[in-house]
Amino acid sequence: MPKNGGLETCSRSFVPPSSETVNSSNKRREGVFTPPFLKFVFYDQERRKNGRMWKFIFSYLDRFIEILIFLIFVVIGVVGGMQVFNRFVLNRSLSWGEELQIYGHIWLIFMTIPVAYRRGSHIGMNILVRKFSQKIQKTLTLIADFMWLGLAGAIVYYSTVIMKVAKNQISPGLGLRMDLMYLSLALGGSYLGLVAIRKIVESFSRLKSGELVGG
């Protein structure tokens, strides 16, 4: 039989399991234990209700588009500088430089349209709109968002029609298929539609809460 000191040491070293540990072990035994990352994606209804997962995804998508725009702008600037240097210093111009800058500008425009719309940076006249009541302003903003969504759908539809014809053509300078050049219309239109849907959801939520919708 151990001494009192031994019993006291054993009792001090024993730590009773917490309720969280017991619940976790019970879930493992029942075969329904879910890792935290899967719970966040599939089973955490509270996070889904708050929209944190979608905000997380959209924030990374917005950041990716902005980085892509920056890279396109850098490529256009570098190629333009190379073309000027070759023409006036080496007396030999690039055969593909001008064409790359043209199609780069097309990509740049159609990728920046939804970014400016998301930030509310497009030029607009709100002198007349401000004279209406807040309820009418909210309604007009919602109508404008639906118009942006319709524009996005038209861009995506007609760009796919153009791409079906352009896939049989080759650009003379770069030697690439022309449907790749017009791919920016489909991608930009798709992103514009996604931004418009987000705006519409935000407008409906603000209409219900009574907040003033801007942009």
DSSP helix, strand, coil percent of the chain (3-state; round to 5): 75, 0, 25
* The pLDDT value given to residue 211: 57
pLDDT tens, residue by residue, 123-176: 777 777 777 777 787 888 888 899 999 999 999 999 999 998 888 888 888 888
Average pLDDT, the chain: 77
What is the Rg, in whole angstroms, of the alpha carbon atoms belonging to the chain?
Answer: 29
Residue 182: pLDDT band (50, 70, 90) is confident
Burial of 185 (0-12, 13-18, 19+ CB in 10 A): buried
Torsion angle, CA of 48/51/56/61, rounded to 10 degrees? Answer: 110
pTM of whole model > 0.75? no
pLDDT tens, residue by residue, 78-132: 999 998 888 888 888 788 888 899 999 999 999 999 999 998 888 777 777 777 7
d(C-alpha 54, C-alpha 98), whole Å:
40
